[in-house]
Amino acid sequence: MGQNGMLGKRIAYQRRISRMTQEQLADTAGVHVGTLRKIERGARGASQAVLDALAAALGVDPSHLVDSRRQTDVRVHQAMPDLSMAIATYDMPADGPIRPLPDLRAAVSDAAHWRLGSQYVRISRHMPALLSELARALHAATTEDRTTVARLLVSAYRAADAVAYRFGARDLSARLINLMEWAAAQADSDVTTATVAYVRTEIYFAARAHHAGLCALQSAIDHAPAAIDPTTVAACGALHMRAAVIAGRSVDPSAARMHLAEARALAARVPEGVYEGTAFGPHSVRIHEVAVAVSLGSDHVSQALDVAAEWEPPMSLPAERRSGFYIELARAQLWSGQPREAFESLKTARRIAPQHTREHRWVREDAATLRRLRRADVPALSAFAEWCGAGE
């Protein structure tokens, strides 16, 4: 089957699971229904504009429709200069329009939704203009609105950082985190400050400075707001979840267990949900139990397999969190001598969040290891390894 045929099959598949007819999809995307029918049949290709319109109508990232790592990489990296310019001019943004606050809030909410769904292409396309607009809004804000705009800016910087971090632009990521701290200082919100501390931990993960990261998180926990309502409970719980994982990476089982216990107790007080942009609740803590077991390695890996044997993340969780569970599980299975099961877990992660899976360093490492072992479906494994760039 040619490239157009594969594209058509993916669009038709996404349309069916969205329970849309061809007429409904064409109308929502602003595409002629005859054009859509030809695309789905593989009789013609789709321009980038049409592809973006169809993806938006389906509520997925364009990368779900185009199974090409190179095309995704090119589109994200093409956006990096504009993103760099937007953050370089944070204190002197170019003149331009500023939408009303409710519209800005809706735009930032969309960006947070894309981040949780690992829709990095979509974020990279929209974020430079949104960051510039929010910077203008902050400079023009009244005293009454300034803290609200600052909190929106923190969330927008976080979405941009997700792209920079996943695609290896670590200097840009660090700069975005610095700007999150700058904006958080103007937000007058202890919860926002705690959220930034949660995100900032990725700097320590990237540098493998796990002990320092654990100390930084412990300080953030000490200064976190009192856990008295769902938002503050989730803020504290998220810090403990992340502290548990970095304690695992630091090979500190005692600290990992303590932070997991704290997170579990806090999660019992709130329903699973997304609080200030971070998923938290009993299911999220369960996923972190797997992450901690894998981080500790050695004798602890069996604990990850025990969790997976009796539980799987529900569909209601954000895609990035669910795919992360299967990526961690795959590593535990690989280390436990279960290569076929590990490959199935990687494929599941890919189905849930393709971009998150493809850009995850562990996925490339584990796919390369599985390829060397040659103890799974070799053609499918080779195709998967090439898709995620294993061995590059």
Among candidate residues 169, 188, 207, the one where a domain is terminated:
188
Q: How far apart are CA 89 and CA 82, in angstroms?
A: 11
- Does residue 130 sit in the same domain as residue 46? no
For the purposes of burial, counting CB atoms within 10 Å of the CB of 208, is it exposed (0-12), middle (13-18) or buried (19 or more)? Answer: exposed
Q: What is the DSSP string of 104-124?
A: HHHHHHHHHHHHHTT-HHHHH
Tell me if 154 sits within 8 A of 192, measured CB to CB: yes
Closest by CA to 355, choosing from 158, 8, 122, 47, is: 122
Total number of domains constituting the chain: 4
Tell me if 288 sits within 8 A of 263, measured CB to CB: yes
- Does residue 166 sit in the same domain as residue 248? no
Phi and psi (nearest 5°) for 279? -75, 130
How do the pLDDT tens digits run along the chain, 392 residues long?
556 667 888 888 888 878 889 999 989 988 898 989 988 888 888 877 788 788 888 877 776 676 555 555 677 777 888 899 999 999 999 899 999 999 999 999 999 999 999 888 889 989 999 999 999 999 999 999 999 999 999 999 999 999 999 888 888 999 999 999 999 999 999 999 999 999 999 999 989 999 999 999 999 999 999 999 999 999 999 999 999 999 999 999 999 999 999 999 999 999 999 999 999 999 999 999 999 999 998 889 999 999 999 999 999 999 999 999 999 999 999 999 999 999 999 999 998 998 899 889 899 999 989 988 875 567 888 888 888 888 65
Element at 278 (helix H, strand E): strand 278-280
Chain position carrying tokens 């993916």? 10
- Does residue 112 sit in the same domain as residue 166? yes
Kindly report the pTM of this predicted structure: 0.83
Q: How far apart are CA 330 and CA 352, in angstroms?
A: 14
Q: How far apart are CA 289 and CA 244, in angstroms?
A: 8
- Does residue 295 sit in the same domain as residue 250? yes
- Does residue 216 sit in the same domain as residue 256? yes
Among candidate residues 34, 60, 86, the one where a domain is terminated:
60
- Does residue 142 sit in the same domain as residue 221? no
- Does residue 262 sit in the same domain as residue 352? no
- Does residue 290 sit in the same domain as residue 353? no
Phi and psi (nearest 5°) for 280? -150, 145
Domain span holding position 382: 312-392
Phi and psi (nearest 5°) for 304? -65, -40
- Does residue 162 sit in the same domain as residue 262? no
- Does residue 195 sit in the same domain as residue 184? no
